Amino acid sequence: MKSENASERVRFLVMHFTTIDFETSLRVLTQPSSRPVSSHYLIPESSDPTYPHKDLRVYQLVDEYRRAWHAGRSSWEDRSQLNDHSIGIEIVNKSECHPPPESTPEAEADAVCFFPEFDAAQIDLVIALSKDILARYPDITPTRVIGHGDIIPQYKIDPGPKFPWQQLADAGIGAWYDDAIVKRHLDYLNGNTTSDRDTVRRRFAMWLQDYGYGIDPETATDDEITLYARAFQYHFRPWQVDGEVDNQSRAIMLALLEKYFPDKLSGYGEFGGEAIAIKSP
């Protein structure tokens, strides 16, 4: 007799970049080591001399019903340890960052980073694979297609600013905002922002939490707010990643909340309610 008291194990789809070539990635993700890692899937890129085939192929490394070790001490929405709840896709891309000496996670903004473009054929595979996964796991809603840097920004930034999140959203994978809604919120914010810096930043932290980010707006330090703002910008404003809570970042965040969590906007009375919660006629 089938019980109705159950839910899907898989709730999130997490994107990564490898920072290393295909051959090394395959070894790291499949062989024992002192710090073992894995993912459910690995996707190579066309120009990699270590890749042995002419055509690109999706490599499945861990069965989806099993727990791959790709997400670490992560959090999103009301869940932590996302290895228990997610499918991970590693994408070969040799992005790299060189932090300053004696750096801390909060000082990562001072790192020198190089982000090569993702291979177009590779992204086609990511889209095809993701569509297949989403068709089988209905609990993976648009805001639950996320990057490694979204769920653990203290240590990770992948898949980085060159990952084409908007292209994936246009294909029906993940979340993205509507430009016209961003403009409406930006016009309002530009004419009505009177709060002090700390209030603006802490309110932005509340919006981040409402969207899914694992930040506590009441206890977060200023450095933590910067860290999570940067993670948000890597995903949704990759052309300017600075951790500043400016009006454009706030407008993008509000447009996302309006699109995916409109019921939460009613709590933002400091904007006069209708200016945010109700779309322009």
| Catalytic (active-site) positions | 90
The count of other CB atoms within 10 Å of the CB of residue 222 is 12
**Chain mean position to CA 212:** 10
Phi–psi pair at 35, nearest 5 degrees: -130, 75
Q: Tell me whether strands 75-76 and 79-80 are parallel, antiparallel or unpaired.
A: antiparallel
Alpha-carbon distance of 211 to 256, in angstroms, equals 8
Alpha-carbon distance of 219 to 195, in angstroms, equals 19
